[in-house]
Structure 1
């Protein structure tokens, strides 16, 4: 059983991480093909998608798992009822968003004439919401390989269509290569659509997902009866609220930036361009995000498995220590070498004007990972409501600090807000954990290492070295020195009897 669980965890984890890597590899293409104002439309709309995904599914995926595992539950009937309700609500919400496309685009401070993008996004949200319960059923039935295969097919379709419409088609029409295909391409490709092909590719990929889930979708019978669904809705709505609070902490800054940034704050650039620059630079924190994502897939089963062991607090402390030290090394290596990494991902110079936010966002994601580590105490003590309180506290702090800092510091204020939010969540979680489930975390020692890492990054950024080779030698020395010092100081020592 444990071996099967580990294997399935690996399949789910790999499919998710590979998917994220492939989608993030599109960033160099976007920043090379679109100006910042165009990419700002993508950043802005997808920030809203994060919130609307939570609204469209309103916690029913987790609720389906919870009720399906209750003794005596007719899983087929439950599946029919939950999917019927989600299908009905998704159709209504999709129609509502499509009908309100024009005013919603104005509310989002996005340029007029792009209402079709909002309609496509509404369709994507509806299809993804309908697919959520069939995906949950696959997980419930331990069909990890089919789950992962469909997820990867979705991502690959999205990536390939992006490459086709945003790279191949414009180049062929411009006569750069494959000129024999030009008549065919000209019939398929509309140059005026621009960034719209990002959303259109996503729409096709979501449609393909429903096709691949056809067996699970045709297997259900529409049964919309609200009375037996009431207990599930009562269970689900707190999950939706917690999900919305989490989205506030994760994505609200990209929404508020366009609205709260004073016009002309960045000379010669619109607010939408600033959103595009910030959104592209935010993507560079993927290196830390992927580590956290991989850690979460592996850590939660490990924590619960270790919870009954006598020395589990010591084990949890050791896990946090090495997680933090590894992330600190990633923070130093990426931040110190950002001048070389940024042109690979941010193809146009205008995007690289915002790279100063990247170290801040990397550090913010480090503290988010620390928070996930520390949250083990309220999961093991069944006091998960503390997680809701902390998430809502983070959301309030996010809104307040963005309101104060965006007009003063622009997108740097948004990055500082993200750091402040995740640091505060981690600190509060640790403080509460000390009172409810004490774990001997080496807080003082890790704080010293983090301050040292921040100091090294600050030195590398503000130490003016004009010579190319000398600068790279210094950067290499900083990274190697930090890694070597970590190894020599923190390596396990063999005790000689």
Structure 2
């Protein structure tokens, strides 16, 4: 079964890497086209969009996977049950998105004032963002259906097209000089709108003539499962993006510039987030499918160990060579590169508590998501209000790390209390502390050699290779067998 998860992760992984890489091409482009404050608007808007998507999808993605599995378990007219499930979840999310979009457009001036001075002169930004949200939410359940059906290549093809269109139109608008007009950064939102609208039109072709239609009795059962996920999802998304909002409102001077720098540096952690995304896309439908509890426990425990191993390899690879990764963003944004290890640490913990959340989703105890994400939200608000006025975006990075740590701690306690799982914590902590020790050794050596880049990079390569060798030896990984297997599949 773990081989199936690994295969699904690889399928989503390769494709996700391509899609996300294309998407991240906008980061070096925008950080060279826009100044810190203008790019801060981009960061601010794209921190709020996920919150709206989480609110309007209402936990229906996880619900779709779970109720699809229950339909298969119940037998009978499985396809008919799945069709009603698809029509209901698609219908309710599309209706919610339509109402939200209409309200945002009608109240755009008031929303612009709430979002800050940078938006007051351009309330039309709100209109374009609302339209992006409308199409993205309406496409969400059809995309989930593709994942549930195992149609990974179709899923990825549409996602890739979305990103390609976004990048092409954004770069095209820039080359046409439109970013220099009064509408300015708004053209970035227009590019995204075009990409989202085209993707929505294409995803309709996969609906198999199903029309969004709400089965209210079924919806009641779905909401009983999904509403706790909605509340937990909102607090979880707030945990991930509220740090930008705290900077905007707690930093007295140059807040939007700090938001821009912070957002650019978090984008540098692209490899870590790529790995997290491809793992989540594969693991969520996998662990929420039907198989024996004993198998679930064993596989979830093993999956967490291997996830941490891979995450710490990525952590070291980026943290040791962060000066090279800093070249991704424009020169004006590289001043914040020192916060990157903290950002990476928070990203590692995001994947840890994702693994720790699968058991309560599978057992339909989704109300526990509120407890977990609520602890994270409380932590980021507490540490953010304390550290951001003192340290600016550096304080925001530490606040997010504290938030992810709180969620991991609470998830661990709940798991131990209600669903004991034999996670190999001693081995996991060993891998984490060895990686952190090598990172601190790198920092000490860098201070000693000063600006000697050759010595620094050589030493870092040795450290990184040492960690890989340590993992191979510790896990007794047969590298030759792995190479032979890969070469054999290649033939």
Structure 1 position 420, deviation (Å): 1.3
Distance 2:83 2:301 in 1: 43
Distance 2:205 2:362 in 1: 37
Distance 1:234 1:382 in 2: 9
Map residues 220-239 of structure 1 onto 2, 5 A cutoff.
220-221=210-211, 223=213, 229-239=219-229
Q: Classify 1:413/1:429 alpha carbon distance in 2 versus 1 (closer, same or farther; 3 Å).
A: same
* Bigger Cα Rg: 1
Name 1:326's counterpart in structure 2. 310
Q: Classify 1:451/1:340 alpha carbon distance in 2 versus 1 (closer, same or farther; 3 Å).
A: closer
Structure 1 position 317, deviation (Å): 5.1
Kindly provide the CA deviation profile for residues 202-223 of structure 1, in whole angstroms up to 9, marking residues without a partner as x. Answer: 0000110122134357935565
Q: Classify 1:327/1:316 alpha carbon distance in 2 versus 1 (closer, same or farther; 3 Å).
A: same
Name 1:479's counterpart in structure 2. 464
Q: More deviation in 326-335 or 305-314? A: 305-314
Distance 2:57 2:235 in 1: 15
Name 1:155's counterpart in structure 2. 163
Task: Indicate conservation of the 8 Å contact 2:269/2:318, yes or no.
Answer: no
Structure 1 position 431, deviation (Å): 3.7
Distance 1:320 1:102 in 2: 47
Name 2:339's counterpart in structure 1. 357
Structure 1 position 12, deviation (Å): 4.6
Name 2:259's counterpart in structure 1. 275
1:94 counterpart (81, 98, 101): 101
1:50 aligns with 2:57: no
CA RMSD of superposed structures (Å): 3.5
Kindly provide the CA deviation profile for residues 405-452 of structure 1, in whole angstroms up to 9, marking residues without a partner as x. Answer: 111111111100111121222233334434441414325534532441
Structure 1 position 490, deviation (Å): 5.3
Structure 1 position 141, deviation (Å): 5.1
Q: More deviation in 99-108 or 476-485? A: 476-485
Distance 1:322 1:392 in 2: 27
Name 1:181's counterpart in structure 2. none
1:255 aligns with 2:245: yes
Task: Indicate conservation of the 8 Å contact 1:306/1:312, yes or no.
Answer: no
Map residues 371-390 of structure 1 onto 2, 5 A cutoff.
371-375=353-357, 377-378=359-360, 383-390=365-372
Task: Indicate conservation of the 8 Å contact 2:51/2:234, yes or no.
Answer: yes
Distance 1:384 1:454 in 2: 37
Task: Indicate conservation of the 8 Å contact 1:17/1:293, yes or no.
Answer: no
Q: More deviation in 280-289 or 331-340? A: 331-340
Distance 1:418 1:412 in 2: 10
Task: Indicate conservation of the 8 Å contact 1:405/1:414, yes or no.
Answer: yes
Q: Classify 1:103/1:465 alpha carbon distance in 2 versus 1 (closer, same or farther; 3 Å).
A: same
1:106 aligns with 2:136: no
Kindly provide the CA deviation profile for residues 47-68 of structure 1, in whole angstroms up to 9, marking residues without a partner as x. Answer: 1101011122223344445555
Q: TM-score, normalised by structure 2?
A: 0.83
Task: Indicate conservation of the 8 Å contact 2:12/2:278, yes or no.
Answer: no
Map residues 361-440 of structure 1 onto 2, 5 A cutoff.
361-375=343-357, 377-378=359-360, 383-435=365-417, 436-439=419-422, 440=424
1:215 aligns with 2:205: yes
1:336 counterpart (308, 317, 320): 320
Unaligned runs of 5+ in 1: 171-187, 264-269
Kindly provide the CA deviation profile for residues 448-494 of structure 1, in whole angstroms up to 9, marking residues without a partner as x. Answer: 3244134224325544512333333333343334444444555459x
Q: TM-score, normalised by structure 1?
A: 0.82
Structure 1 position 192, deviation (Å): 3.5
Distance 1:309 1:95 in 2: 45
Distance 1:449 1:432 in 2: 27
Map residues 461-476 of structure 1 onto 2, 5 A cutoff.
462-463=447-448, 465-476=450-461
Task: Indicate conservation of the 8 Å contact 1:248/1:398, yes or no.
Answer: no
Distance 1:58 1:323 in 2: 28
Q: More deviation in 76-85 or 327-336? A: 76-85
Task: Indicate conservation of the 8 Å contact 2:87/2:211, yes or no.
Answer: yes
Q: Classify 1:346/1:262 alpha carbon distance in 2 versus 1 (closer, same or farther; 3 Å).
A: same
Unaligned runs of 5+ in 2: 479-491
Q: Classify 1:36/1:301 alpha carbon distance in 2 versus 1 (closer, same or farther; 3 Å).
A: same
Q: Classify 1:260/1:237 alpha carbon distance in 2 versus 1 (closer, same or farther; 3 Å).
A: same
